[in-house]
Amino acid sequence: MPVITPARINTPPSTFQVEVVNRTKNTALLEWVKAIDPDKDKVAYSVFLEGRKITTDLDSTTYMVQGLTPKTEYAGYVLAYDTQKDSTRSDFTFTTKSPYTTFSKYYPVPASKESVRSSFIIKTFDQGYVITGTTYSRSMDRWIMFATKIDSLGIQQWNIAPEHDIAGGKVAVTETEDRGLILAAKNIVLKLNAQGDVLWEKTLEIKCVINAVTETNDNSLYAVGVIGPDKSASKDIKSQAILVKLDAGGTPLWERRYGTSGYNTVVDVVQSPSGGFMLLCETGTSDNMDFCVMNTDAKGEIRWQRTYGDRRFDFAAQLKATSDGGYVMAGSSWGAYDFSEMRAIKIDAAGNELWNRSFNNGFSFQATAIEVTHDGGYALTGYTKTNSNDTFLVIYKLDSNGSKTWEHWYGRGMGGSFGSDLVQTPDKGYMVAGYSSFDSKKPVWVLKLDPEGNYDD
């Protein structure tokens, strides 16, 4: 009888894993380990995306998927098959990136500094950004200022920390006509060049705390803040708001003080079209504080003054001019049980209130900054503290009437994510300065977001 040789039972290629090693807004690079065929058959590969075969007979173990749509989820698989057409499948999924540049980055301040708190972020003439703030130096046992510069992609360009004792206050910043920078904190004013080198520094003789600084068209500088009452003042005055004019070299020329009773401070300053100033203030007593806006002439003399608030403690944060000639302010209102709300108030050029919005979402919220957006709306940032004491950086996007259109929370909670300031970017996204308590070095946190407040991990 003839010997019958049983048919060979073919074995499919070995299992393998596909990885998506790189994604852009319209491509994805797939990579996998070579599948081994137990029968030593040649192995080739086909790639399927969303149920459709997009390539076949591949010898390579990499493949670039192209022509994708930004911010879209995709699913597919790679099929490894031998000459007998037996196959093994490995699935993959990915989401393409945003068409916008987005990121979440941390920047350490100079070595030996700890406990960072960012204050402000401004956009510079060269399309970069400067972030300022304070950091606690254990070696000097004091709070000192810092400033760091990044480009539009988030690459750090320089980083300084002048060692002045500023007692933990904010570090005001403005860019000057010569492309330099003015930093101000406590009663100290510094001028930097565009590379971050200190050109001069002045310590004002008056014992004030500067909250904001601006440069006018004649290159004069104006600093605003708070100062204790002088010896001749009424005992009813606990603190006074102050406006100081300095020349381009930082020499004080004159000062104006405001407030005839209680507590008073200027939080922010915006030059008005008439050449005077709009001053965002806080005014009140130990029982009640209100938002206040003062309109002054170029010499700091008050033209009119309005208060905005209720029976809670209202604390102002920032003031911005709007495209219709009015102004919008941000702040926080504290009520019972240490519960606070973010506030946004729109006024016209005469100080008349147009709308007044509060936001809390069931938790305690604090606003630190507001930005006027390209679409005629506004963006608020700050932070929220949940009932479990988790703290998140938050952004609220508002329409032109102050109604919320979206909100996002950022960070990991557990006590440590805070928003300080934000600016809108040329692509209609946002650059946000904050800080976090998670990293042992406690660095500055900067988010670059798309117009809807998203970023790619």
pLDDT above 60: residue 440: no
Q: Are residues 145 and 171 in contact, defined by beta-carbon separation less than 8 angstroms?
A: yes
Does residue 6 carry a pLDDT above 70? no
Asked if residue 81 belongs to a domain, the reply is yes
Residues 194 and 119 in one domain: yes
If asked whether residues 205 and 108 sit together in one domain, one would say yes
pLDDT at 415: 59
Report pLDDT for 145: 93
Q: How far apart are CA 363 and CA 237, in angstroms?
A: 34
Say what the pLDDT of residue 414 is. Answer: 59
Residue 441: the pLDDT is 58
Whether 147 and 264 map to the same domain: the answer is: yes
Of 122, 128, 121, 125, nearest to 152 by C-alpha is 128
pLDDT of residue 443: 80
Tokens 């989401």 correspond to what residue?
A: 95
pLDDT at 2: 64
Same domain, 139 and 210: yes
Question: How many domains does the chain divide into?
Answer: 2
Contact 13, 26 (CB under 8 A): no
| CATH code, domain with 240 | 2.130.10.10
Residues 277 and 344 in one domain: yes
Q: Please give the sequence-ordered ranges of beta strands (E in DSSP) within 247-363, or none if there are none.
A: 252-258, 263-271, 277-284, 289-296, 302-308, 313-321, 327-334, 340-347, 353-359
Which of helix, strand or coil describes residue 336?
helix
Residue 38 sits in the same domain as residue 182: no
Q: What is the pLDDT of residues 65-87, one digit of tens each?
A: 999 999 899 999 999 999 999 99
Query: Mean per-residue pLDDT for 229-246?
Result: 86
Look at residue 361 and tell me whether its pLDDT is greater than 80. no
Q: Binning pLDDT at 50, 70 and 90, where does residue 413 land? A: low
- pLDDT above 70 covers a percentage of the chain that reads 94
In the prediction, which pLDDT does 168 show?
Answer: 73
Shared domain check, 28 and 135:
no
Asked if residue 430 lies in contact with residue 424, where contact means CB atoms within 8 angstroms, the answer is yes
pLDDT band at 251 (very low <50, low <70, confident <90, very high): very high
Q: Is residue 232 scored above 80 in pLDDT?
A: no
pLDDT at residue 312, as a whole number:
85
Instruction: Check whether residue 142 and residue 91 sit in a common domain.
Output: no
Judge whether 318 lies within some domain. Answer: yes
* pLDDT at site 342: 94
Local confidence band at 5 (pLDDT 50, 70, 90 cut-offs): low
Query: pLDDT band at 169, cuts 50/70/90?
Result: confident
> If you average pLDDT over residues 93-106, what whole number do you get?
94
Out of 89-103, 143-157, 160-174, 329-343, which region has the weakest mean confidence (pLDDT)? 329-343
CA–CA dist 231, 194 (Å, integer): 41
Among 95, 124, 154, residue at a domain's last position:
95
CATH classification at residue 40: 2.60.40.10
> Looking at residue 115, what is its pLDDT?
79
Average pLDDT, the chain: 92
Q: 296 lies in a domain?
A: yes
Position 283 confidence tier, pLDDT thresholds 50, 70, 90 = very high
174: region left, alpha or beta (phi > 0 left; psi from -120 to 50 alpha): beta
pLDDT at 372 over 80: yes
Residue finishing a domain among 53, 68, 95? 95
Quick check: is 34 in a domain? yes
In a domain, 8, yes or no: no
For residues 280-300, give the mean pLDDT.
Answer: 95
Mean pLDDT (whole number) for 297-317: 93
Give the pLDDT score at 447.
97
Mean of pLDDT values over 110-117: 68
- Mean pLDDT for 204-232 is 92
Q: What pLDDT, on the 0 to 100 scale, is given for residue 336? A: 64
CB distance 264 to 281 below 8 Å:
yes
**Shared domain check, 176 and 50:** no
Asked, for residue 13, whether it belongs to a domain, the answer is no
Q: What is the 3-state secondary structure (H, E, C) of 401-452?
A: CCCEEEEEEECCCCCCEEEEEEEECCCCCEEEEEEECCCCCCCEEEEEECCC
Query: Is pLDDT above 60 for 111?
Result: no
Domain membership flag for residue 455: no
Q: Are both 211 and 132 inside the same structural domain? A: yes
Check pLDDT > 80 for residue 112: no
Q: Is 337 helix (H, G, I), strand (E, B) or coil?
A: helix
Lowest-pLDDT choice from 137-151, 413-427, 430-444: 430-444
CA distances from 206 to 28, 225, 257, 277 (A): 60, 12, 12, 21
Q: Are residues 116 and 67 in the same domain?
A: no
- Domain end (from 41, 67, 95): 95
Q: Across residues 132-160, what is the average pLDDT?
A: 91
Domain membership of residue 303 as a residue range: 103-449
Residues 303 and 360 in one domain: yes
